[in-house]
Amino acid sequence: MAKPPLSHYSPKFANKAWAENDGYTSYFSCSYSDKVKKSPKGWKQWGRKRGLYSWLVEKSLDQDLETSASPIYEKIISYNELSENERFIWTQFMLSQLVRTPTYMKYERKTREIFGITEEPNHCRVGCKDCLDLNFVANRDWCLLLAHEDDFFVRSDNPILQSGFIELPDTCLFYPLTPKLCFVACSMPSGWNAFTNRPNETCGYQLAKGGAHLFNFHLAKAAGESLIISPKDDGVIAEKMYSDILGLYPQPPFSLHVLDGADSENAYESIRKIMSHTDGFEYPNWQLDELVPFYQKNSSAGAT
């Protein structure tokens, strides 16, 4: 019987910026010792796991989504504005990144088991170009955060840090593009309408020294089991931080719950219970108070 595919939950084109001499340094939770360890990884060897999804889904992610998203990624890191169509393709890629990770799929399986769900969702993992949910990201203001020359961003196996339900205006999404650059889909004012709003042009902000480490703290904490760092950025500070906090509170699978009217409090509690039941650990309330809300600014941004 043929082996299932090595499913790329974080595609190679989006990871390679962290590779130095064809490799990364990876911090990971060791299943044998319950400790966080680190080791070198080849640039094609991280961000994949065998059998997450079928060959059909793997090929569709590659051919139907990543082939279109890769040149848009290059355009963003070159500081070029996207067309409206490109914004929606990039948003489809972002939402796909959220639902194709081992962490998300673990919580999804448990949810299906709890509620006895057997049917498979349409457009599984790849998303749909006509999905209305795309408006909740594409029609936010966007910005790029540039790390101080002495700082850097990491990439975790939950590559996107999503602060809350995408339907809520004050939610934002952080997605490191390179060790020096992080994409942000920003929080919006309370009266924001995702279906009529026309977002501002993308702004870029230089972070103060140390500013990127605040984001790295939350990215590492929201990891599932591992992260990568460029070997030139590794050191005592990184080793101490990631050894202590890696995966302490994995990225919540917000899209497993549809908001019912304005009652977001029950929705957050539902997600917390799913995570706690799955992991056998009573998670506290999810909070990113240091980071959100995060609005597009017209002047230089600090850490928030």
HEC secondary structure over the chain: CCCCCEEECCCHHHHHHHCECCEEEEEEECCCCCCEEEEEEECCCCCEEECCCCHHHHHHHHHHHHHHHHHHHHHHHCCCCCCHHHHHHHHHHHHHHHHCCHHHHHHHHHHHHHHCCCCCCCCCCCCCCCCHHHHHHHCCCEEEEECCCCCCCCEECCCCEECCCCCCCCCCEEEEEECCEEEEECCCCCCCCCCCCCCCCCEEEECCCCHHHHHHHHHHHCCCCEEEECHHHCCHHHHHHHHHHCCCCCCCCHHHCCCCCCCHHHHHHHHHHHHHHHHCCCCCCCCCCCCCCCCCCCCCCCCC
Residue 103 has pLDDT above 90, yes or no: yes
Judge whether residue 261 has pLDDT over 70: no
Residue 288 lies inside a defined structural domain of this protein = no
Kindly tell me if the per-residue pLDDT of 298 is higher than 80: no
Task: Let me know if residue 170 belongs to a domain.
Answer: yes
Nearest to 186 by CA among 195, 178, 200: 200
pTM score, whole prediction: 0.94
Distances (CA, A) of 219 to 164, 250, 251, 260, 267: 14, 9, 9, 28, 22
Q: How far apart are CA 229 and CA 227, in angstroms?
A: 7
**pLDDT bracket for residue 301 (50, 70, 90):** very low
Supply the range of the domain harboring residue 163.
Answer: 19-278
Q: Chain-centre distance of CA 250, in angstroms?
A: 11
Q: Is residue 287 part of a domain?
A: no
The count of structural domains within the chain is 1
Residue 54 within a domain: yes
Q: Is residue 6 situated within a structural domain? A: no
Q: What would the two tokens of residue 44 be?
A: 């094609």
Q: Are the C-beta atoms of residues 160 and 121 closer than 8 Å to each other? A: no
Q: How confident is the model at residue 122 (pLDDT cuts 50, 70, 90)?
A: low
* 124 has a pLDDT exceeding 80: no
In a domain, 302, yes or no: no
270 within some domain: yes
List the structure tokens of 240.
């101490």
Residue 10 lies in a domain: no
pLDDT digits (tens, 9 = 90+) for 17-44: 999 887 999 999 987 777 899 999 888 8
Residue 300: pLDDT above 60?
no
Structure confidence at residue 271 (pLDDT):
95
Q: Give the Cα separation of 11 and 65 in Å (integer).
A: 11
**Residue 185 to residue 82: CA distance in whole angstroms:** 14
Token pair 């602060």 is found at 163
Quick count: other Cβ atoms within 10 Å of Cβ 88?
19
Burial class (CB in 10 A: 0-12, 13-18, 19+), 54: middle
Q: How confident is the model at residue 302 (pLDDT cuts 50, 70, 90)?
A: very low
